[in-house]
Amino acid sequence: MASILRVNTLTDASSGNSVATSVIFNGTAKAWINMNGSGTISNRDSSNISGITDNGTGDYSFSYSSNMNNANYCVTVCATDDSSTANGTDGFAYGSWLRGSNSAAYATGSMRIQVGYPANNEHLTKAM
């Protein structure tokens, strides 16, 4: 027989930190990734990411381990360039774009993004 635990708030052992269960269910990040996009791409650390696809320079797709409920979710992307030869953007964040139309970029099981240099309106000039 399955058990059900019904609570409104979760609190740590010292009662110093608490959070409503609605925040955990609806409000936390459903997926994130810290990846190395230079050379052979790799997943440094992540949550709910089952794979990365390198679609070309600065063009990546991420597959979710557990699908989103629908394609109406929000994505935030930050990219940095640690290269010493990168158009004067060393160490700074630079632009990112969702790939294609809304329906092409957002899917319940994956997300596709592009990154590049916005200063000269060129994207995909160099991989992260």
- Whether residue 99 contacts residue 111, with contact meaning beta carbons closer than 8 Å, is answered with no
Instruction: Output the CA–CA distances (angstroms, integers) from residue 120 to 87, 89, 94, 101, 125, in the order listed.
Output: 10, 12, 11, 23, 10
Query: In the prediction, which pLDDT does 127 show?
Result: 38
pLDDT in tens, the chain (128 residues): 788 888 888 888 998 888 887 767 766 778 889 998 878 899 999 989 999 999 887 788 899 998 888 888 888 777 776 655 545 444 444 455 554 444 556 788 998 887 766 555 444 444 33
**pTM score of the predicted model:** 0.65
User: Distance from CA of residue 42 to its chain's centroid?
Assistant: 14
Query: In the prediction, which pLDDT does 113 show?
Result: 83
Q: Characterize 50-73 residue by residue with b for buried, 16 or more Cβ atoms within 10 angstroms of its Cβ, and e for exposed.
A: eebeeeeebbbbbbbeeebeeeee
